[in-house]
Amino acid sequence: MAELGIGIVGAAGRMGLALARAVAEAQGCAVAAASERPGHDAIGSDIGALAGLGDIGVAIGDDPGSLFAAAGAVLDFTAPKASAHHAKLAADSGTILVVGTTGLEAEEQAAIEAAAKSVAIVQAPNFSVGVNLAMALTEQIARLLDEDFDIEVVEMHHHHKVDAPSGTALGLGRAAARGRGVDLDGVAERGRDGITGARKRGAIGFASLRGGDVVGEHTVMFAGAGERIEITHKAGGREIFARGAVRAALWARDKPAGLYSMADVLGFNA
């Protein structure tokens, strides 16, 4: 099978550079294009040099349309509005899109779902294999335990993160809600302050911590009378997300149009 050319949007950011390194390490693919927002200091720089790979002959541009035209798949860990725009570009160009952006509003998510009618899109709140295993286990445990066990999702990230709860925390919460056969929006408690009253039976609570350079830590607690079950995942570096995203792009290259998840990529939904 021919080598898959991969484009990276937001290429000069910490995640973008991690993605470039992950593509370089993987077999069957290569960085084909890279872009950043207009006016960024990295425009014109070789993405390989910025990522510590040496020059690879791919300069960072400022036109995502050209990037989609040059790539067979695009990796997107940017911002909600940008990802919605990139989804339309993917649909127009027939380019596979891998989306790891979190914090999307309903309209932005709708744009991604509309684009997935025309092209294969893999979207996940977290592309780590370990996190997706934690989600699968969370759903299974929630299915087995009744509401005598309270569910709390606790997450911590670096002080630069702008959305809370994290997309991964919400993904874990959705997994718990699926296990219980309920809609997360109807049972979520996303913040407590002051005199809140007793905890509601059946609620799924979230607590968000921010500080330092923490890449990502998530714990799902099932707290019952006299016992507590905890599932914890700690990310040691962004490379685990980057490797998963590249794996998703390679997996999607022979898939029909549709919106897929990392659970599909890993075979959890088979």
Q: Which residue has the tokens 């990230």?
A: 157
List the catalytic residue out of 157, 158, 218, 233: 157
pLDDT at position 125 is 87
Do the Cβ atoms of 149 and 222 come closer than 8 Å? yes
Sorted by sequence, the CB contacts under 8 Å of residue 194 that are 6+ apart come out as: none
The yes-or-no verdict on residue 270 having pLDDT over 80 is no
The yes-or-no verdict on residue 269 having pLDDT over 90 is no
Tens digits of per-residue pLDDT, 170-206? 999 999 999 999 999 999 999 889 999 999 999 999 9
pLDDT at position 78 is 96
Q: Is 161 a catalytic residue?
A: yes
Share of the chain above pLDDT 90, in %: 93
What is the distance between the alpha carbons of residues 132 and 96, in angstroms, rounded to a whole number? Answer: 21
pLDDT tier at 266, thresholds 50, 70, 90 = very high
Structural domain spans, the chain: 4-123+238-266, 129-235
Q: What predicted TM-score, i.e. pTM, was given to this entire model?
A: 0.84
Distance spanning both ends of the chain, measured CA to CA: 24
pLDDT at position 130 is 93
Sorted by sequence, the CB contacts under 8 Å of residue 56 that are 6+ apart come out as: 24, 31, 46, 47, 48, 49
Tell me the CA distances in angstroms from 177 to 48, 143, 216, one per residue in order.
42, 9, 22
Tens digits of per-residue pLDDT, 109-128? 999 999 999 999 999 989 99
Which DSSP category does 65 fall into? H
Tens digits of per-residue pLDDT, 67-112? 999 999 999 999 999 999 999 999 999 999 999 998 899 999 999 9
On the question of a common fold for 4-123+238-266 and 129-235, the answer reads no
240: amino acid identity, one letter: I
Least confident of 16-20, 44-48, 165-169: 165-169
Do the Cβ atoms of 224 and 83 come closer than 8 Å? no
The yes-or-no verdict on residue 38 having pLDDT over 80 is yes
The yes-or-no verdict on residue 256 having pLDDT over 90 is yes
Q: DSSP of 134-158, one letter per residue?
A: HHHHHHHHHHHS-TTSEEEEEEEE-
CATH code of domain 4-123+238-266 = 3.40.50.720
Tens digits of per-residue pLDDT, 205-234? 999 999 999 999 999 999 999 999 999 999
Average predicted confidence (pLDDT) for the chain: 96
Six-digit token string for 41: 């200091």
List the catalytic residue out of 40, 81, 88, 161: 161
Tens digits of per-residue pLDDT, 40-50? 999 999 999 99
The yes-or-no verdict on residue 33 having pLDDT over 80 is yes
Does domain 129-235 bear CATH number 3.30.360.10? Answer: yes
Q: Is 157 a catalytic residue?
A: yes
Taking alpha carbons only, the member of 198, 201, 206 closest to residue 224 is 201
pLDDT at position 268 is 83
pLDDT at position 1 is 73
